[in-house]
């Protein structure tokens, strides 16, 4: 009974239940009732779009300011590691296209594009919530102010930013996190009631299965490397990231998963200052899972459509995509929308092929996002080891204020 009670209290358990209920309820829910949840998801999703830039700014700025004069160095190192991980995933996808697709997709031809929005449930009403700034703007502003504060040593501004950080984390813990299971339920309810979504999944079922297998292998490689560098058990560290994986699976947003990822990373022994620096940063620049999925589907269409793509073009596409996706707004579907231009200009996709690519990727967007945030935990382990105490947020309070709720959920998911 005690184990059951602990499980029922865990965030991971609630998310899994929400996913299962969403799929099951999609089989019999009347459209009128389902539209209530679609309306809620529209409002909550708009709020996340408004809130995410503020969240990124409020977490990264004090983290950079706490690093001191070495901020630029550790920013460069973290960015390099994240980019290398993303590019590695792209080369894995291209390698699969070269050596697996000839047998896996033998005789397959490119299908007609499907609009997965056609026939989808519509909300009763919507309220626009424009963000105060874009995600990339928030990131750049945080870097500028954070690095500037390391030079002028403004204690007053630093204290104010720490207060802002606590306020933001309080909003997350008392408003965003409790509503996430409802949001995730609505996502899978809507997906299940959208018949066109299943058509897309059936068209690419072989590629989807391959993507799942390669995702598991990619995460294992990331954590084996991180474990070797940090001296920690890679499997244990990977399992502790599962609450973040499940949250991202439901939200399809790396940025919206930041508070859960942050706590999971700390549970792996990463210093709070390192976690506060690497997690929000990697949520924007580390896109290994998205790269793997986009690469697999893009090269599948290339193979089935008989498009001639040289090795040089394929490598150039991967290198450019790793940079372009950083501009993705941190919301569902952002990565593929950032890649649209490259699909046409570098791979030669026509309008129908781009539409098919968008539909195929959005259908499994959450799997790429979940891989992204889980891999963020591996990068945090590496940076934590390399930093060796150089990244140290002043007066950081373990599990303070807004993090109490999240910390309890993550501990409960581990059965502690």
Q: Where are the domains of the chain?
A: 7-414
Ramachandran assignment for 214, one of left (phi > 0), alpha (psi -120 to 50 degrees), beta (any other): alpha
pLDDT tens readout for residues 41-71: 888 878 877 887 887 788 778 777 766 555 6
Distance CA 288, CA 290 (A): 6
Topology of the domain covering 7-414? 1.10.3860
For CA atoms 189, 193, 197, 198, give the dihedral sign: positive
Which among 336, 354, 306 is positioned nearest to 114, based on CA atoms? 354
Cα distances (angstroms) measured from residue 136 to each of 34, 150, 273, 280, 366? 34, 21, 22, 12, 21
pTM (predicted TM-score): 0.71
**Which residues of the chain are under the pLDDT cut of 50?**
1-9, 329, 393-416
Buried b (16+ CB within 10 A) or exposed e, 198-213: eebeebbeebbebbee
For residue 106, what are the contacts with CB-CB under 8 A and spacing of at least 6? none
Ramachandran assignment for 404, one of left (phi > 0), alpha (psi -120 to 50 degrees), beta (any other): alpha
Which among 413, 411, 406 is positioned nearest to 260, based on CA atoms? 406
DSSP string covering 5-47? HHHHH-HHHHHHHHHHHHHHHTTT--HHHHHHHHHHHHHHHHH
pLDDT tens readout for residues 376-398: 999 999 998 887 655 554 334 43
Q: Helix, strand, coil: what percent of the chain each, to 5?
A: 75, 0, 25
Number of neighbours of residue 300 by Cβ within 10 angstroms: 26
- Which pair of tokens denotes residue 152? 């002028």
Distance CA 333, CA 284 (A): 14
Which among 249, 326, 305 is positioned nearest to 11, based on CA atoms? 249
The DSSP symbol for 176 reads I
Cβ burial of 141 (10 Å; 0-12, 13-18, 19+) is: middle
Q: Which residue has the tokens 């630029």?
A: 72
């Amino acid at each position: 009974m005690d184990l059951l009670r602990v499980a029922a209290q865990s965030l991971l358990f609630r998310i899994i239940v929400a996913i299962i209920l969403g799929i099951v309820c999609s089989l019999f829910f009347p459209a009128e009732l389902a539209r209530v949840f679609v309306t809620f998801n529209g409002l909550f999703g708009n709020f996340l779009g408004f809130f995410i830039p503020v969240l990124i700014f409020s977490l990264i700025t004090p983290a950079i300011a706490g690093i001191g004069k070495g901020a630029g160095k550790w920013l460069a190192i973290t960015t390099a590691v994240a980019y290398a991980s993303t590019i590695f995933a792209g080369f894995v996808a291209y390698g699969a296209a070269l050596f697996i697709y000839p047998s896996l997709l033998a005789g397959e031809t490119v299908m007609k594009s499907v609009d997965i929005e056609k026939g989808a449930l519509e909300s009763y009403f919507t309220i626009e919530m424009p963000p105060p700034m874009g995600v990339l703007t928030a990131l750049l502003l945080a870097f500028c102010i954070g690095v500037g504060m390391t030079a002028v040593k403004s204690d007053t501004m630093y204290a104010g930013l720490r207060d802002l950080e606590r306020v933001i984390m309080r909003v997350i813990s008392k408003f965003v996190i409790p509503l996430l299971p409802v949001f995730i339920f609505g996502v899978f309810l809507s997906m299940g009631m959208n018949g066109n979504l299943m058509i897309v999944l059936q068209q690419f079922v072989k590629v989807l299965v391959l993507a799942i297998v390669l995702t598991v292998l990619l995460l294992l490689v990331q954590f084996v490397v991180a474990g070797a560098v940090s001296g920690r058990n890679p499997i244990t560290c990977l399992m502790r990231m599962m609450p973040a994986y499940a949250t991202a699976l439901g939200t399809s947003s790396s940025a919206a998963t930041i508070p859960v990822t942050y706590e999971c990373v700390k549970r792996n022994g990463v210093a709070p200052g390192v976690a506060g620096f690497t997690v929000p940063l990697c949520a924007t620049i580390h896109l290994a899972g998205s790269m793997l999925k986009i690469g697999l589907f893009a090269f599948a269409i290339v193979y089935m459509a008989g498009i001639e793509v040289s090795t040089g073009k394929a490598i150039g596409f991967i290198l450019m995509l790793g940079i372009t996706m950083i501009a993705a707004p941190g919301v569902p579907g952002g990565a593929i929308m950032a890649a649209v231009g490259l699909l046409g200009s570098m791979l030669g996709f026509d309008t129908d092929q781009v539409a098919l690519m968008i539909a195929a990727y959005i259908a499994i967007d959450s799997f790429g996002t979940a891989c992204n945030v889980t891999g963020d935990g591996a990068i945090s382990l590496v940076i934590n080891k390399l930093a060796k105490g150089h990244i140290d947020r002043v007066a950081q309070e373990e599990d303070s204020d807004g993090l109490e709720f999240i910390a309890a959920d993550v501990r409960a998911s581990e059965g502690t």
